[in-house]
Amino acid sequence: MRTGRLPTTEEALSFVKENGVVLESARGRVPTFVDFVAGERVARWWSHPKGPSIFALTRALRDSPDILTCRLIDHKVTFVHRRLWPALVKLADEFDKADLAAIREEHLPNGKHRIVVTEFPEWVPAEVLAKAKRLTAAKAKSMFTFPTSRETA
């Protein structure tokens, strides 16, 4: 775990790029972004002293064109870096399609939020589709640090 100062937005993006797949705040088989920001394991980040900064950084990730926000890992909010999108597309049949949908939060005039879903593969850029076609399934699987098959997940 990191300690000390808060990461910058660039460091937060680098954390996701380096790890490829990161859970926003849940526990699972990949790193947890909230723990990275806090420098320690966090159970309830909204009441953590760094909570406002954690919130701001999670929103920066969600707004980044290099980050897919979906529910890939255990149906929890997951960040996937653009470098893995071709592999994700190649292995799409090994995931629940609903978990591959892009999600984003929309703020309503009344102060409430709603989740807007862009189904897979509607969110996938053409260049990512082209790269996915050139990948072998074995190469795509090797890009992930966790089992991708539903049977081994």
Domain positions in the chain = 9-142
* Residue 100 to residues 3, 68, 144, Cα–Cα distance (Å): 32, 9, 15
- DSSP secondary structure code for residue 93 in this structure: G
- pLDDT band at 1, cuts 50/70/90? low
What is the overall mean pLDDT for the chain? 93
Confidence category of residue 46, pLDDT binned at 50, 70, 90: confident
Over range 45-53, report the average pLDDT. 89
User: 30 near 76, Cβ under 8 Å?
Assistant: no
Task: State pLDDT tens for residues 58-113.
Answer: 999 999 999 999 999 999 999 999 999 999 999 999 999 999 999 999 989 999 99
Q: What is the pLDDT of residue 153?
A: 46
User: Over the stretch 126-151, which tens digit does the pLDDT of each residue have?
Assistant: 999 999 999 999 999 999 988 776 54
Q: What is the pLDDT of residue 69?
A: 98
Please state the length of the chain: 153
Q: At residue 5, what is the residue type?
A: R
Peptide bond just before 121 cis, omega within 30 deg: yes
For residue 38, the model assigns a pLDDT of: 92
